[in-house]
Amino acid sequence: MPRRTWTMTDRTRFVVAAQARHDNMAELCRQYGVSRKTGYKWLARFEAEGPAGLVDRPPVPQRCPHALPAAVREALLALRAAHPTWGPKKLRARLPLAYPGLVAPAASTVGDLLQTAGLAVPRRRRRHVPPRTAPLAHAVEPNRVWCADFKGDFPLAGGARCSPLTITDACSRYLLRCQALLETSLAQVQPLFEATFREWGLPEVIRTDNGPPFASAGAGGLTRLSVWWVKLGVRPERIDPGQPAQNGRHERMHGTLKAEACQPRQRSLRAQQRRFDEFRRVFNEERPHEALGQRPPAALHVPSPRPFPDRLPELVYPEADAVRWVRPNGSLRWRNGEVYITQALAGEPVGLTQLGDRLWEVAFGPLVLGRFTEGSSRLTPPQPRPR
């Protein structure tokens, strides 16, 4: 039997009759073809609201099948409290690991929860540009490329300024070192690189910016630090000046480091280092990374198969036409004159290859430093390769 549609007039007549026959509601409901539950509902609404109470109302579900279970909601809020900078995707990926047995909702549902709880932080809109594939495209496996930099210095509560040295593996994003330093000198930095090499092995390339102690304005951009890297079989690679996006993976880590480990300011360098050590543990072992399929860096990173050597290897130039040692003043003797190379190579051998009549190319290990013509006193830098 098709369901009857009740008009306002029908309901009004029913209510008027019901008010006159309270002692026989069941009989009245049978006459009008409604259940007693519906009859009493109409009567109660009319007495409370008048005629407006008889208007159809939208159905209200008694339960929501998609509602977030209380246990999941509380677990997500607890994770957010422990990691205030993590967004919905990272919280969703971490939930089943931190709370086995709970089913993670969609990232959009986690985002709605954060929004409702007043924990969502709006992101600054960024101008979208075409993605750059070089020079990061070849970081396709761990230890192919490491990235190193100093996160901008900041004051400690005790008055000193802290300059963190950070080293990451570009492929796995593993934070190999995060060291609080008071200065950025070679004497402070080289022992930290040696300790990192001894712990994790040698990479093929180390990418840095153009500042000291990583690079200089001299031939090949070499410094005493990068000369040491070359002798270890590690090629230094520098981004273009003023282009930090070319080291974007490392810079993105710096943003997280600043948000999670640099505030509030610690009083001493030792206390700040404890914050960095805890940040490094969470970043490597717990924090999901979207580019890694929401896995933490420790899930991908492995030590390098190239161990730190007991003795520094000697550079050889089997294909060079001549080998000369750079003098303490940074120059080398050639024929009847001197050609200035760079002070960073004092005491080191360089290979010379003849390119033409009186034209020579100078290399230090695999790095071409430039060319000179017999009779000139300085190198001409090599032409930059297209990226």
Instruction: Give the CATH number, domain containing residue 226.
Output: 3.30.420.10
Same domain, 158 and 107: no
Same domain, 236 and 100: no
3-class SS string, the chain: CCCCCCCHHHHHHHHHHHHHCHHHHHHHHHHHCCCHHHHHHHHHHHHHHHHHHHCCCCCCCCCCCCCCCHHHHHHHHHHHHHCCCCCHHHHHHHHHHHCCCCCCCCHHHHHHHHHHCCCCCCCCCCCCCCCCCCCHHHCCCCCCEEEEEECCCEECCCCCEECCEEEEECCCCCEEEEECCCCCCHHHHHHHHHHHHHHHCCCCEEEECCCCCCCCCCHHHCCHHHHHHHHCCCEEEECCCCCHHHHHHHHHHHHHHHHHHCCCCCCCHHHHHHHHHHHHHHHHHCCCEHHHCCECHHHCCCCCCCCCCCCCCCCCCCCCCEEEECCCCCEEEECCEEEECCHHHCCCEEEEEEEECCEEEEEECCEEEEEEECCCCECECCCCCCC
Place of tokens 């409370």: 48
Residue 340 clears pLDDT 50, i.e. is over it: yes
The CB-side HSE value for 321 (13 A sphere, CA atoms) comes to 11
Return the pLDDT at 129: 39
| Assigned domain for 192 exists | yes
Return the pLDDT at 7: 76
Same domain, 157 and 294: yes
Return the pLDDT at 69: 87
Question: Mean pLDDT, to the nearest integer, of 61-84?
Answer: 82
Same domain, 284 and 190: yes
pLDDT band at 46, cuts 50/70/90?
Answer: confident
Residues 6+ apart with CB under 8 A from 119: 77, 80
Same domain, 159 and 267: yes
Question: Mean pLDDT, to the nearest integer, of 197-212?
Answer: 95
Same domain, 175 and 207: yes
Residue-wise pLDDT for 106-129, tens only, equals 988 998 888 888 888 776 665 443
Which residue has better confidence, 384 or 108?
108
* Mode of pairing for the β-strands spanning 145-150 and 154-155: unpaired
Identity of the amino acid at 14: F
Yes or no: say if 345 and 364 are a contact pair by the CB < 8 Å rule: yes
Same domain, 145 and 292: yes
Lowest mean pLDDT among 5-14, 101-110, 185-194, 252-261: 5-14
Return the pLDDT at 227: 96
The sheet with strand 322-325 has its strands ordered as 322-325, 349-356, 359-364, 367-373
Place of tokens 């993670």: 104
Residue 136 clears pLDDT 50, i.e. is over it: no
| Mean pLDDT rounded to a whole number for the chain | 87
Same domain, 193 and 241: yes
| Assigned domain for 122 exists | no
With pLDDT > 70 as the criterion, what percentage of the chain qualifies?
A: 91
| Assigned domain for 219 exists | yes
Six-digit token pair at 132? 């750059």
Same domain, 235 and 346: no
Residue 137 clears pLDDT 50, i.e. is over it: no
Q: State residue 282 phi and psi, 5-degree precision.
A: -65, -45
Question: Mean pLDDT, to the nearest integer, of 171-195?
Answer: 95
Count of beta carbons in the 10 Å neighbourhood of residue 352? 19
What is the length of the chain? 387
Angstrom distance (rounded) from CA 331 to CA 312? 23
The total number of structural domains that make up the chain? 4
Angstrom distance (rounded) from CA 297 to CA 315? 35
| Assigned domain for 384 exists | no
Range of the domain at 83: 70-116
Return the pLDDT at 352: 94
> What region, left, alpha or beta, does residue 220 occupy, with left being phi > 0 and alpha being psi -120 to 50 degrees?
left
Return the pLDDT at 349: 96
Yes or no: say if 380 and 220 are a contact pair by the CB < 8 Å rule: no
Residue-wise pLDDT for 283-332, tens only, equals 999 999 998 999 999 999 999 999 999 999 889 999 999 999 999 999 99
Residue 152 clears pLDDT 70, i.e. is over it: yes
Return the pLDDT at 247: 87
| Assigned domain for 90 exists | yes
| Assigned domain for 314 exists | no
Which residue has better confidence, 158 or 150?
150
Residues 6+ apart with CB under 8 A from 275: 261, 262, 266
Same domain, 44 and 155: no
Residue 131 clears pLDDT 90, i.e. is over it: no
pLDDT band at 85, cuts 50/70/90?
Answer: confident
Same domain, 281 and 177: yes
Nearest to 90 by CA among 254, 302, 282, 264: 282
Q: State residue 68 phi and psi, 5-degree precision.
A: -75, 125
pLDDT band at 66, cuts 50/70/90?
Answer: low
Question: Mean pLDDT, to the nearest integer, of 30-55?
Answer: 83
Angstrom distance (rounded) from CA 182 to CA 228? 23
Same domain, 172 and 282: yes
Return the pLDDT at 280: 97
Residue-wise pLDDT for 236-276, tens only, equals 999 888 888 888 899 999 999 999 999 888 999 999 999 99
Question: Mean pLDDT, to the nearest integer, of 81-107?
Answer: 90
| Assigned domain for 133 exists | no
Question: Mean pLDDT, to the nearest integer, of 337-360?
Answer: 93
Nearest to 250 by CA among 341, 331, 148, 345: 148
| Assigned domain for 307 exists | no
